[in-house]
Amino acid sequence: MKTSHAVRALNGILRREMLRTLRQRGRLLSAMVRPLVWLAIFAAGFRSVLGLSITPPYQTYVLYEVYVVPGLAAMMLLFHAMASSLAIVYDREMGSMRLLLTAPLPRWYLLAARLLASVIVVMPLVYLFLVIARYWDVRPPALGYVAAFPALLLSGLMLGAFGLLVSSVSTQMENFAGVMNFVIFPMFFASTALYPLWRLAEAGPVLATIAAWNPFSSAVELIRFALYLRFDAASAFVVFICLLAFFLAAVVGYDPGRGLWSRRPGS
Amino acid sequence: MNVLSVEHLSHSFGSRRVLDEVSFSVPEGGMCILLGRNGAGKTTLFSLVTGLYHARAGSVLVLGHAMKASPSTALAQMGVVFQQLTLDLDLTAGENLRYHAALHGLSKALSKERSIEELSRLEVADRIDDPVRALSGGQRRRVEIARALMHDPRLLLLDEPTTGLDVPGRRALERHVRELCRERGIAVLWATHFLEELTADDDVVVLHRGTVRWAGRADRLAADLGVASTAEAFALLTGAE
């Protein structure tokens, strides 16, 4: 693989993702509206009933809105990852994924390029949300926005790799709708996005254990700590290992010799 | 010299065998028609030839490069038009071509030059800045062929490219592809179930239920089977009414 070829292909894939994202205004709008609705309505409602003790990285009592924003940023990444995954299944049914996979580059590289491009295009939206959240007094330190970038990128890649893996085993869009329900909601609700772990432990040890093992929780905590200029090494480790595991499994899923594609007619 | 060699290719989905010992080749500048009814295994064969997945047995060689061992080298020589539209409807014709060029490692300048050249050759250059969504079925197919030729491949694969086109559209597409064979020496594998797309000097491979039932020059088909017409011969080979 020549470097110039690899770079041009990556640029091409990134450019295509950006153009598609910009031209699908409905998708853009809903990506922004979803977390804002959660922040403006859900968080406002829960604020009065859900007390929060001092929980790291916060050094004092914080408003529920402050607590929930990193989780909502991670939710944006999760929804985007699943929407991208759905787009891959659609592309495969409609044929344009074939074009990507018949490019003269290693398949792992093509999948990685698509994954990276997909995460990069969602970043401006996440930052826009973080800026709008300041209206609700969610004001991390200015440097926190910079420190959050690698955390958001790593989390986005991990969730995107998970979406890629899901798309590799999902042969039809109809199946995928079911996967969305079985993946997004459990992953989001059984995590520390909306409640701290100690709160979940009060509700039940099983739920707390699930949330503690849920890689989405690690993504949320990594972003939360980074926004307040702290590094959560344990979460970073979990997110990184999960990224590798999901991506490698997705590469196997798309392998021409071993993947599910070669075992099903009409692929 | 053979640009494409398919040797003893077999594939199955679970216990269902969809291709069985398929062998044929396409020489430089040659036009090979892969003729078969729906469900004959043409699309599976295309998926295997393009390396989307590997066959259970047999091999695919493109200019001597095995698809299993050196997929990137083999794919670099190949332009593909799949049965289903693979253009991005949200992008313009030009953007679709430039995306493909980037995947094949072409520079921006070369990509721009080639996209105009190929779209002009296929008489759709005036639609370069139009979204694909706004193009007719025939124009989309021509844009797909232009895209497949962007990186100057030695082998062009077309899987039922005339599906959904009207008769004049089909004729025009056929004419363009035959010109490519003659003028640029491109080897073409054209899968179809339309007998009228054959000409006398084409190489034909009749595929039925995953096996090659007959292979040779189109003008020998009827004579070899001792019938009056190509249509009768095809019906005899495939059990069609």
Q: Which residue has the higher pLDDT, A205 or A239?
A: A239
Name the residue among B106, B112, B201, B87 with its Cα closest to residue B152: B106
Q: How far apart are CA A92 and CA A110, in angstroms?
A: 14
* pLDDT tens digits, one per residue of B108-151: 999 999 999 989 988 888 999 999 999 988 889 889 989 999 99
Which of A262, A263, A264 to substitute to test the interface with B, most B CBs within 10 Å? A262
Does B241 have pLDDT greater than 60?
no
Instruction: Identify the pLDDT of residue A224.
Output: 95
In what order do the strands lie in the sheet containing B203-208? B78-81, B155-159, B187-192, B31-35, B203-208, B211-217
> Can you give the three-state secondary structure of A45-84, one letter per residue?
HHHCCCCCCCCCCCCCCCCHHHHHHHHHHHHHHHHHHHHH
Report yes or no: A217 and A128 within 8 Å, Cβ to Cβ: no
**Weakest mean pLDDT among A12-16, A167-171, A245-249, B92-96:** A167-171
Domain ranges across chain A? 3-263
Does B181 have pLDDT greater than 50?
yes
Which of B38, B86, B91 to substitute to test the interface with A, most A CBs within 10 Å? B86
Report yes or no: A54 and A103 within 8 Å, Cβ to Cβ: no
Q: Which residue has the higher pLDDT, A143 or B164?
A: A143
Average pLDDT, rounded, for chain B: 89
Mean pLDDT over B57-75 rounds to 92
| Residue B114 sits at the chain A interface (C-beta within 8 Å) | no
* pLDDT tens digits, one per residue of A102-128: 899 999 999 999 999 999 999 999 999
Indicate the burial class of B76 (C-beta count within 10 angstroms; 0-12, 13-18, 19 or more).
buried
Name the residue among B66, B68, B65, B9 with its Cα closest to residue B34: B9
Of A98, A259, A262, the CB nearest to B82: A98
Give the 3-state secondary structure of residue B162: coil
Say which CATH number the domain at B197 has: 3.40.50.300
- Among B116, B137, B152, identify where a domain stops: B152
**Same structural domain, B161 and B70:** yes
Name the residue among B55, B4, B86 with its Cα closest to residue A261: B55
Task: Name the residue of chain A whose CA is nearest to B96's CA.
Answer: A16
**Weakest mean pLDDT among A199-208, B176-185, B199-208:** A199-208
Name the residue among B86, B159, B56 with its Cα closest to residue A262: B56
Helix axes A142-169, A215-227, angle to 10 degrees: 160
- Residue B185 covered by a domain: yes
Cross-chain residue pair A256–B54, CB shorter than 8 Å? yes
**Same structural domain, B67 and B175:** yes
Cross-chain residue pair A12–B101, CB shorter than 8 Å? yes
Count Cβ atoms below 10 Å from residue B193 Cβ, excluding itself: 19
In what order do the strands lie in the sheet containing B65-66? B16-27, B2-13, B57-62, B65-66
Say which residue the tokens 């004419």 belong to: B175
Instruction: Identify the pLDDT of residue A52.
Output: 66
What letter would DSSP give residue B22?
Answer: E
Task: Name the residue of chain B whose CA is nearest to A260's CA.
Answer: B53
Q: How far apart are CA B218 and CA B201, in angstroms?
A: 6
- Residue B83 covered by a domain: no
**Same structural domain, B121 and B208:** no
- Residue B102 covered by a domain: yes
Count of structural domains within chain B? 2
| Residue B44 sits at the chain A interface (C-beta within 8 Å) | yes
**Same structural domain, B147 and B159:** no
Interchain CB contacts (distance < 8 Å): A and B:
105
DSSP string, B77-131: TEEEE-SS--S-TTSBHHHHHHHHHHHTT--HHHHHHHHHHHHHHTT-GGGTTSB
CA angle B51, B52, B58 (to 5 degrees): 45
Report yes or no: B138 and B170 within 8 Å, Cβ to Cβ: no
- Residue B50 covered by a domain: yes
Instruction: Identify the pLDDT of residue B74.
Output: 93
Give the 3-state secondary structure of residue B54: coil
pLDDT-derived band at A258 (thresholds 50, 70, 90) equals low
**Same structural domain, B54 and B125:** no
**Same structural domain, B7 and B27:** yes
Structure tokens at B180: 């490519």
Indicate the burial class of B227 (C-beta count within 10 angstroms; 0-12, 13-18, 19 or more).
middle
Contacts of A259 in chain B (CB under 8 A): 53
- Which amino acid, one-letter code, is at B73? T
**Same structural domain, B63 and B48:** yes
| Residue B29 sits at the chain A interface (C-beta within 8 Å) | no
Cross-chain residue pair B88–A96, CB shorter than 8 Å? yes
* pLDDT tens digits, one per residue of B4-34: 999 999 998 888 888 999 999 999 988 999 9
Does B197 have pLDDT greater than 80?
yes
Half-sphere exposure of A39 (CA within 13 A, CB side): 26
Give the ipTM.
0.85
Cross-chain residue pair A99–B103, CB shorter than 8 Å? yes
**Same structural domain, B228 and B161:** yes
- Residue B82 covered by a domain: no
Task: Name the residue of chain B whose CA is nearest to A105's CA.
Answer: B72
Rg (CA), chain B: 18
Range of the domain at B44: 2-77+154-238
**Same structural domain, B124 and B140:** yes
Cβ-defined contacts of A45-48 (< 8 Å, 24+): A46/A194
Q: How far apart are CA B43 and CA B48, in angstroms?
A: 9
**Same structural domain, B144 and B209:** no
* pLDDT tens digits, one per residue of A166-216: 888 876 666 666 767 788 888 998 899 888 887 777 778 888 889 889 999
Pick the most confident of A153-157, B84-88, B152-156: A153-157
Does A23 have pLDDT greater than 60?
yes
- Which amino acid, one-letter code, is at A172? Q
Does A157 have pLDDT greater than 60?
yes
**Same structural domain, B66 and B170:** yes
Say which residue the tokens 């059984």 belong to: A190
* pLDDT tens digits, one per residue of A32-87: 888 999 888 888 777 766 666 677 788 777 788 888 999 999 999 998 888 888 77
- Among B112, B129, B152, identify where a domain stops: B152
Instruction: Identify the pLDDT of residue A51.
Output: 62
Rg (CA), chain A: 19
**Same structural domain, B232 and B177:** yes
pLDDT-derived band at A94 (thresholds 50, 70, 90) equals low
pLDDT-derived band at A267 (thresholds 50, 70, 90) equals very low
pLDDT-derived band at B206 (thresholds 50, 70, 90) equals very high
- Among B107, B132, B152, identify where a domain stops: B152
Structure tokens at B36: 């078969």
Structure tokens at A203: 């509700």
Instruction: Identify the pLDDT of residue A181.
Output: 77
